Amino acid sequence: MRAALFVTCLVDQLFPRTGRAAEDLLRHLGVTVEFPPGQTCCGQVAFNDGFWSEARPLARRLLGVFDHADAVVAPSASCVAMIREFYPILLRDDPARAAQAREVGRRTYELTEFLVDVLGVVAVGAHFPHRVAYHPACHGLRLLGLREQPLRLLRHVRELDLRPLVGAEECCGFGGMFALKFAELSAAMLETKLRAIEASGAEFVTATDVSCLMHIDGGLRRRRSAVGTIPIAEILAAR
């Protein structure tokens, strides 16, 4: 099995450890991992804020980079959702490109989805002796249908104590530009999430999306909370 790793712009530049964890994990499971260096950003920041003309070249670019990959795997649910769900909409005036987008989209997976649905693995041999709360990030949950896959993987991590999170499926308030344009509102949503995380008794909160975790982490640090954030790839790669 060969897979092209799409690390995403945020992971590449700000959370490289998450990219390395995803890569190590895939290799550990016998996948031949490639890293096409032409990759940059999927364009969802611009697309979600209505800047479709700006997002289009990025979409075309990324499709070119991953056109020949057997599978594209990304440690970020919202970027996968962008490719799979929104590229065909963004590129609908260019039927050939839209078809290419659907084609690439069919072979593009979020990491936990790839592990469980494609490789058929739930026990990845990870060891993470901590109390963990799982936040089902919105795009993974509702656009990719990531319900069971991340939880099954977490339940098989040795000594990991999975803590229930009240209101787990409520948005943390990130939403890309939303967090900047409607900062007070976004912060009010974040507040509810932070309280639920702290009430869960977890030492770490994890998710399939680094952008939401970045938002939650920023809130936890601002409160000087003892709870940390860790992307799910890093838990699954912990030995």
Partner 1 sequence: MKTPRGAAPEPGRPIDFVRNARLALGDPFLRAALRATMVRFRDRQAAVIAEVPEWQALRDYACAVKRHTLGRLDQYLEQLEAQVALRGGHVHWARDGAEAAGIIARLARGRRVVKSKSMTSEEIGLNEALASAGCEVTETDLGEYLLQLAGEAPSHLIAPIVHRSKEFIAALLSAAAGRPLPAEPERLTAVARELLRRRFLEAEVGITGANFLVAETGTVVLVENEGNIRLTTTIPRVHIALAGVEKVIPRLADLAVFLTLLPRAATGQRMSSYVSLLTGPRRSGERDGPEEFHLVLVDNGRTAVHGDETMREVLACIRCGACLDVCPVFERVGGHAYGSVYSGPIGAVLTPLLQGLTVAGDLPFASSLCGACGEVCPVKIDLPRLLLELRARVVRSRGAPLGERLFLRAWTWVMGSAVRLTLAGSLVRLARGLVGPRPRWLPAPLSRWIAFRDLPPAAPAAFRRGRRR
* Shortest distance, position 198 Cβ to partner 1, whole Å: 16
Of 97-105, 116-124, 148-156, 211-219, the segment contacting partner 1 by CB under 8 A is: 211-219
| 171 part of the interface to partner 1, by CB under 8 A | yes
Contact between 48 and 175 (Cβ < 8 Å):
yes
φ, ψ for residue 171, nearest 5 deg: -60, 145
What three-state secondary structure class fits 67? coil
Phi, psi (5° rounding) for residue 54? -75, -30
Q: Determine if 231 is a binding residue for partner 1 (CB under 8 A).
A: no
Out of 25, 31, 55, 69, the residue judged to bind partner 1 by CB under 8 A: 55
The side-by-side arrangement of strands in the sheet containing 161-163 is 161-163, 131-134, 204-206, 228-229
Give the 3-state secondary structure of residue 75: coil
217 contacts partner 1 (rule: CB under 8 A) = yes
Q: Tell whether residue 49 is a contact of partner 1 (CB under 8 A).
A: yes
Question: Angle, to 10 degrees, between the axis of helix 183-199 and the axis of helix 210-222?
Answer: 80
Coil, strand or helix at 204 = strand
Q: How far is the CB of 217 from partner 1 (least distance, A)?
A: 7
Determine which residue in the list 183, 199, 201, 239 makes contact with partner 1, applying CB under 8 A. 183
The answer to whether 175 contacts partner 1 (rule: CB under 8 A) is yes
Question: Minimum distance between the CB of residue 25 and partner 1, rounded to whole angstroms?
Answer: 14
Instruction: Work out whether 38 is an interface residue with partner 1 (CB under 8 A).
Output: yes
Is residue 152 near partner 1 by the rule CB under 8 A? no
The token duo for 236 is 């699954």
Q: At 158, give phi and psi (nearest 5°).
A: -60, 135
Residues 86-145 contacting partner 1, CB under 8 A:
86, 89, 138-139, 141-143
Sheet holding 72-74, edge to edge: 32-34, 2-5, 72-74, 108-110
Minimum CB separation of residue 68 from partner 1 in Å reads: 12
Binding residues for partner 1, rule: CB under 8 A, are 7, 9, 11-17, 19-20, 34-41, 43, 45-52, 54-55, 57-58, 61, 86, 89, 138-139, 141-143, 169-171, 173-190, 192, 214-215, 217-219, 221-222
